C-alpha cells in the first residue's frame, strides 16, 4: 500500500462497505482492502504482527491515548471471572488480559494465552514472566479456526482486537463455541463502527492520515498500520457480529459500545 493511496482511500470511506463476509469467491478473502487468496492471509497477517510485536504495547498506548487499558478493564469486569475458572485469552498477544485473569482465577484456576503469531506470543510470555506471573499461565500457539483443545474446556474465552484478523470468522466462532463449557461465555472486544457520523469522520481521518505516520515513526512500519486501519473498516459492524455469534450457537448475545462505538464488547453464552 503506497502512501499516495492513503488519502484517496480515506476520502472514499463513505462508499466502502463495512462487511462481515469474505470476498464473493469462496477461495478469496480480504486483507485490508485487498482481495487475496484465503491460503495467503495467515502468512500475510503473520508478517504484520512479526513486524509490530516488539513495539506493540507502545503503539497501543499511543494509538488509543491509553484508553485501551480501560476497554480491557471493562472486558475483565464483564467476564464474571471467578477463582478457579479456566480462561482462554485467544489472540492474547502481549498478555494484558492474561495478566489480569491470572490474578483473579488464583492458584486453582488457569489461563491459557493463545496466539497464532509466535513473535507476539514470545513478547507476551517474556512480559508476564518479568512480572512474576508464572504459576497458572500456559502459552499455546494456535489458530482460532482450529483450536487444539477438548470440547467443554473453558469457563471464559476472550478475544481482544484479534477477530478481525481471522480468515474465516464464522469458523473461529464455532471453534470457540466448541471449547466452551456449558454455561461458559465468549467476550469479543474489537474495533467497530462509531455511532455518530462526526465521530466516524474524525476516526477515519485519524486512522488513515495519522496512524500510518505514527507507525512509521515509532515502529518503522507504516504499511502494517495502514493494514490495521483497513482491517478495522472491513470488520463486521456491531449488529452483524452479534448475528454471526448467534449463528455459531451462542445465546443471550449482546454488545456494549465503548468510546462512542469506536470499540464494542460483544458477549454470548453457551447453554
Binding residues: 94, 115, 143-144
Closest CA to 167 of 40, 14, 6: 40
Q: 159 has which bridge partners? A: 90, 188
Q: Can you give 175-224 as a three-state secondary structure string?
A: HHHHHEEEEEEEEEEEECCCCCHHHHHHHHHHHHHHHHHHHHHHCCCHHH
CB hemisphere CA count around 173 (13 angstroms): 25
Closest CA to 223 of 11, 95, 49, 57: 49
189 close to 263: Cβ distance less than 8 angstroms: yes
Residue 79, all three cell numbers: 467476564
CA–CA separation, 189 and 166 (whole Å): 14
Instruction: Report the binding-site residues for S-adenosyl-L-methionine.
Output: 94, 115, 143-144
C-alpha 49: how far from chain center: 12
Amino acid at each position: 500500500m503506497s502512501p499516495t493511496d492513503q488519502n484517496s482511500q480515506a476520502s472514499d470511506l463513505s462508499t466502502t462497505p463495512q462487511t462481515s463476509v469474505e470476498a464473493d469467491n469462496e477461495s478469496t478473502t480480504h486483507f485490508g482492502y485487498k482481495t487475496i487468496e484465503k491460503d495467503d492471509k495467515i502468512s500475510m497477517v503473520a508478517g504484520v504482527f512479526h513486524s509490530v510485536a516488539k513495539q506493540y504495547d507502545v503503539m497501543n498506548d499511543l494509538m488509543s491515548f491509553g484508553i485501551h487499558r480501560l476497554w480491557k478493564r471493562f472486558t475483565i469486569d464483564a467476564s464474571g471471572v471467578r477463582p478457579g475458572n479456566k480462561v482462554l485469552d485467544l489472540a492474547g498477544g502481549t498478555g494484558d488480559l492474561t495478566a489480569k485473569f491470572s490474578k483473579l482465577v488464583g492458584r486453582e484456576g488457569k489461563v491459557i494465552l493463545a496466539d497464532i503469531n509466535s513473535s507476539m506470543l514470545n513478547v507476551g510470555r517474556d512480559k508476564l514472566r518479568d512480572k512474576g506471573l508464572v504459576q497458572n499461565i500456559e502459552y499455546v500457539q494456535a489458530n482460532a479456526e482450529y483450536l487444539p483443545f477438548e470440547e467443554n474446556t473453558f469457563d471464559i474465552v476472550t478475544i481482544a482486537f484479534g477477530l478481525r484478523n481471522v480468515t474465516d470468522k464464522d469458523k473461529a466462532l464455532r471453534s470457540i463455541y466448541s471449547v466452551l463449557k456449558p454455561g461458559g461465555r465468549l467476550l469479543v472486544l474489537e474495533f467497530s463502527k462509531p455511532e455518530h457520523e462526526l465521530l466516524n469522520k474524525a476516526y477515519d481521518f485519524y486512522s488513515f492520515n495519522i496512524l500510518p505516520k505514527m507507525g512509521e515513526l515509532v515502529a518503522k512500519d507504516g504499511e502494517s498500520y495502514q493494514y490495521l486501519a483497513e482491517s478495522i473498516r472491513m470488520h463486521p459492524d456491531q449488529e452483524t457480529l452479534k448475528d454471526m455469534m448467534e449463528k455459531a450457537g451462542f445465546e443471550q448475545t449482546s454488545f456494549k459500545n465503548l468510546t462512542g462505538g469506536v470499540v464494542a464488547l460483544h458477549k454470548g453464552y453457551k447453554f
